[in-house]
Chains A and B, each alone.
Chain A
Amino acid sequence: MSAQAYLLLTLAFYAVGVLHVLFHALTRRRLLSSWTVTATLAGFAFHTASLSQRWTEAGHFPSVGLHDGASLLAWTIVLAFLATYIRTRLEALGLAVYPVAFGLVLIANLTPASDAMDPILKSLFLPIHTALAFCGYAALFVAFAMGLAYLVQERELKARSPRAFYYLIPSLEACDTVSGRSVIVGFGFLTLAIITGVLWSHSARGRYWTGDAKEWSAVTAWLIYIGLILARRHTGWGGRRAALLGIAGFAVVVFTFTWVALFPGVYAAR
């Protein structure tokens, strides 16, 4: 089967997750069932097959352009979700993950695969650098989603009349803890991605720093996250402010990602 066919199957299986989570959010029951998790695992398997097929078809690691970028990002996000779910059994994360993973795979299904064949893409740095970066994005997405969950739950609790989210979202403490841990994991990946990116730039163009907007935004995000981690560790920061800062950091991350995904030529050719 072609990468495209696998991707279509992936979309179908993730759709099960989206529908299940949304339906159960409306009835305020448990968000996930063993069915949903099984469907997600099946979708994830097809997704993996699609990516490996695409790697062969494209001739380079499939992380360049909107089609490949969206698909790979969805894959890492689902991976991060499964890893978090296994550890914490946090079902509420599914509320953010399923629609986003489904949306990204949908985008990948609707956009043509770019067949840019830049010699720079042949480099070994491409899989290493982008895999690290994407893992970082996924972990930071989890941190963002749990930070958002924190703010929503806090608003519910302040409002003193419970609506849907009060029942669906776990405790403030759980949101804060998972968000904080995900930031640390994401930050680690981000750091490694920046280091490998700088090395790649040097080996490809002879310069460590090209001044591209992506580089600036990656460093901005890095600074926000290190600030957040230090504040958490040393001043007992947490809760609302940490959630807000995590969301701000993620906004910068989104910019960093879309910059390459939408303008791969600009970034790659510089």
Chain B
Amino acid sequence: MILVIGVSHQTAPLSLRERLAVAADRMPAMLQRLRDEAGLAEVMMLSTCNRVEVYGRGEEGVDERALEWFMSATPGPPREELAPCVYRLTGAAAIRHAFRVAASLESLVLGEPQILGQVKDAYQAAEQAGTLGSSLNALRNRSLAAAKRARTETGIGRNAVSISYVAVELARKIFGELKDKNVLLVGAGKMSELAARHLVRSGARATVLGGRTIGKAEGLAAALGGRAAAFETLREELAVADIVISGTAAQGVVIRTEDVESARAARRGRHQRPLFLIDIAVPRDIEPAVRKLEGVFLYDLDDLKSVADANLRLRRREAAAAEALVDAEIAEFLEWQKSLDVVPLLVELRRRGEEIRRAEIDKARARLGPLTPQQEQALEAATTAIVNKMLHGPTVQLKELARDGHPPELIGLVRRLLGL
């Protein structure tokens, strides 16, 4: 039986989730403890900022013990605080949850792409810790495949919803290809760096303008594979820039309309090319009147946010399609899981044995001629015993394998070996 026990952003506040979080270096020990102390045959643990969950497999009723362990053995919050936030899912509900989490349908930011990688890493950690068995491994393969399908076949992950990605998408809407576009960074903040990194990864070249200390600009320029320049060269740099990201801590305006106008005039031959200005500073760095200039697109933090919101609304609409797709995948997985049941195989094995026995008895009778009832009985007894003894080993072994969660390929292999 597969189970999920945990807390998420839907059930518990951050203050509680952060106390439950398990760091990567503590994960192997945690997994082994879970296996040994909570009685789980297989176990994986997903620990992100938005959820801390145990995925496991064990005998019927193991969920009770695992829940108990989760609430008491973790060094986290006291039981009274934790109890109302923890959910416990078993069987089909647990499988369903695993699929939906991987597909980002349960994420705080719908369709966010990180969760897929986090789930992947969590399974990998469990694999390395040796707590991953065939059942969870099958769940991993199918749920990750379903998540990838949802991502590529529906719009759930399309259109950026984070500020820095929105900036990159807007740049693409303006310039198409970002290769060889010049990005000018004014001020070396964290957010400018993040957006610039995305742009550079798409082939853009970065130039960082330094403030009072050129050192910081040089450091960032090196990190971005670009160059640094003094702030005094603003106008010259503006003239060759396609994208400007401004995020200084200055109190006043840093880039004035005249600066942009003169820079536009200076780009001889290419003054018709668009200029994309991103102002992520608070208070703002770029004079708002700049946006009235032809071919100039100015976005401040609020603008980026409103694009992100519009994109999120679109994602919510796409979620319905993604839900349907994931539901179909879940149904398929449950169906497949049922087919792994060894009982039908055992029945078939018996039937086949009996069939062979009957056929051989008929042949023997034809050769032996009429038999006495005693001989008849002896023949029956001997053949039945042969079949039973032949099948005893495989039957016991198959039942055992089924209890431990056998690899999915095994049933097929057994069928082939026995010619069924």
Contact = CB atoms under 8 A, between A and B. Distances in A.
A242 B223 CA distance: 39
Q: Which bracket fits the contact residues of B?
A: 20 to 34
Contact of A238 (B172, B173, B175, B272): B272
Given A160-B303, A160-B306, A162-B310, A236 B175 contact: no
Contacts of B307: 160-162
Q: Which of B173, B176, B271, B291 has the most CB of A within 10 A?
A: B173
Contact of B270 (A157, A170, A236, A242): A236
Nearest to A175: B176
A239 B272 contact: yes
Interface string A149-177: 00001000110111000110011111001
Given A157-B170, A172-B274, A236 B269 contact: yes
Nearest to B304: A160
Interface string A168-191: 001111100100000000000000
A23 interface: no
Nearest to B276: A157
Given A172-B274, A235-B269, A29 B173 contact: no
Interface in B73-109: none
A239 B273 contact: yes
A158 B310 contact: no
B295 interface: yes
Given A161-B307, A162-B310, A173 B155 contact: no
Contacts of B124: none
B306 A161 contact: yes
Nearest to A177: B176
B173 A153 contact: yes
Contacts of B162: none
Nearest to A153: B173
Contacts of A29: 155
Nearest to A157: B297
Contact of B297 (A158, A238, A242): A158
Nearest to A156: B173
A237 B271 CA distance: 8
B304 to A, nearest CB: 9
Contacts of A239: 272-274, 295
B400 interface: no
Interface string B107-150: 00000000000000000000000000000000000000000000
B271 A158 contact: no
Given A157-B297, A239-B273, A240-B295, A174 B159 contact: no
Given A157-B170, A160-B307, A161-B306, A236 B176 contact: no
Interface in B290-321: 291, 294-295, 297, 299, 303, 306-307, 310-311, 314, 317
B150 to A, nearest CB: 14
B174 interface: yes
A146 to B, nearest CB: 13
A166 B273 contact: no
Contacts of A153: 173
A59 B310 CA distance: 57
Contacts of B303: 160-161
Nearest to B173: A171
B258 interface: no
A242 B299 CA distance: 25
B360 interface: no
A171 B294 contact: no
B272 A241 contact: yes
Contacts of B269: 235-236
A171 B159 CA distance: 14
A95 to B, nearest CB: 16
Nearest to B274: A172
B267 to A, nearest CB: 9
Interface in B256-294: 268-274, 291, 294
Nearest to B271: A236
Contacts of B311: 162
A28 interface: yes
Interface in A83-107: none
Contacts of B299: 160
B380 interface: no
B348 interface: no
A171 B175 contact: yes
Contacts of A242: 272
Contacts of A171: 172-176
B110 to A, nearest CB: 16
A153 B173 CA distance: 8
Contacts of B297: 157-158
A209 to B, nearest CB: 36
Contacts of A236: 268-273
A239 B274 CA distance: 8
Contacts of B294: 240
Contacts of A173: 174-177
B42 to A, nearest CB: 39
B169 to A, nearest CB: 10
Interface in A1-56: 27-29
A24 B314 CA distance: 13
A156 B101 CA distance: 35
Contact of A167 (B159, B271, B274): B159
A238 B177 CA distance: 17
A162 B268 CA distance: 32
29 contacts: A28-B314, A153-B173, A157-B174, A157-B297, A158-B291, A158-B297, A160-B299, A160-B303, A160-B307, A161-B303, A162-B307, A162-B311, A166-B173, A167-B159, A171-B175, A171-B176, A172-B175, A173-B175, A174-B176, A177-B176, A235-B269, A236-B268, A236-B269, A236-B270, A238-B272, A238-B273, A239-B295, A240-B272, A240-B295
> Which 4 pairs between the two chains have the least Cβ-Cβ distance?
A173-B176, A171-B176, A236-B269, A160-B303
Given A28-B314, A166-B173, A239-B273, 13 more contacts: A157-B297, A160-B303, A160-B306, A161-B307, A161-B310, A167-B314, A172-B175, A172-B274, A173-B174, A173-B175, A235-B269, A236-B272, A240-B294
Interface of A: 27-29, 153, 157-158, 160-162, 166-167, 170-174, 177, 235-242
